[in-house]
Amino acid sequence: MRLRPVNLLYLLLFSVLLSSCGGFEKIRKSSDVNYKLTKANEYFDKKDYSHANQLYKELMPIMKSTRNYEALFYKYAFTFYYLKDYVEASYYFKNFTDYFPTSKETEECEFMSAVCLFKYAPKYSLDQSNTMKSLEALQSFTNKYPKSAKVAEANDYIDKSKKKLETKQADAAKLYFNINQFKAASVAYKSVIHNYPESANGDLYQFMIMKSMFKYAKASIEEKQEERYASAISAYKELKEAYPQSKYLPEADKLYTIADNNVKKIRDEQHK
């Protein structure tokens, strides 16, 4: 019975896969350490990081204190990185710097440990503990190696980390505003400006401080309105002085006019 071409192809692929798996198991069970290391390096060079990782893992405790341990450790860390296991990669890159502080690869490994923390950090809407850790690690790297060729790349990761943290904080302030917690919103936006004074969104944050204070005043009892409208006016003046070309000024001007008129009206009534 003749096999159809499709079935023949599947059979061929299966045979190759079976042969490959069998070959790997033979390597893995070998008692020849140097042979296993050679094959692990071959897998690494062929970008078969999964098989390389498995062999390196078995060789790590055996080859400790040997002349091949440093190179093995270095490649083992990179297998985790290429497999996108950034937690393990960061751990082994950091451990490499502790084991081999004078190695020519130490600078790179310290950088890679920080990069892995950055890559592992989730999107801005989730917990940013790992972003904070990566930011600290990257800043530590740039301080320790100010002349490194990796500094520009590290600074780019630093900027991206800061932007994630800024966005998360700004979103929290926006949430306060959206649920009508206007006093909390104004405080939160002030905190964003304080933490990120060079942000490209500085005028938006300052405008939202003014707008939050305006709405807070409007929702307040009469006895508190004058003081709170005055705070909104003060925030408006800061916006106009710091960002004279801001696209938010037209709306801010309208709110200012209402706030100013309300303050005048309240004062007029007080003097009757």
* Domain harbouring 252, CATH code: 1.25.40.10
In a domain? residue 157: no
Q: Read off the pLDDT of each residue in 192-217 and give the average, rounded to a whole number.
A: 95
- Read off the tokens for 97: 């710097």
> E strands within 3-145?
none
Closest CA to 255 of 227, 222, 231: 231
Percentage of residues in the chain with pLDDT exceeding 70?
88
In a domain? residue 195: yes
**CA distances to 24, 57, 83, 111 from 49, in Å:** 13, 12, 7, 21
Number of domains, the chain:
1
In a domain? residue 168: no
Please give the DSSP secondary-structure letter assigned to residue 4.
P
8 A C-beta contact, residue 93 and residue 110 = yes
Domain that holds residue 186: 180-272
In a domain? residue 236: yes
pLDDT of residue 158: 94
How far apart CA 65 and CA 75 sit, in angstroms, is 16
In a domain? residue 196: yes
pLDDT of residue 46: 96
pLDDT of residue 22: 57
How many Å is the Cα radius of gyration of the chain?
30
Task: Quick: pLDDT tens for 85-143.
Answer: 999 999 999 999 999 999 999 999 999 999 999 988 766 555 667 888 889 999 999 99
DSSP letters, 23-55, are HHHHHHT-S-HHHHHHHHHHHHHTT-HHHHHHH
How far apart CA 139 and CA 23 sit, in angstroms, is 45
**CA distances to 127, 168, 184, 194, 219 from 173, in Å:** 16, 9, 8, 13, 18
Q: Read off the pLDDT of each residue in 42-67 and give the average, rounded to a whole number.
A: 94
Task: Quick: pLDDT tens for 244-254.
Answer: 999 999 999 99
In a domain? residue 222: yes
Task: Quick: pLDDT tens for 172-196.
Answer: 999 999 999 999 999 999 999 999 9
Number of residues assigned to the chain: 272
In a domain? residue 267: yes
Please give the DSSP secondary-structure letter assigned to residue 31.
S
Angle at 95 (CA atoms; ends 89, 101), nearest 5 degrees: 130
How far apart CA 193 and CA 205 sit, in angstroms, is 7
8 A C-beta contact, residue 142 and residue 166 = no
In a domain? residue 170: no
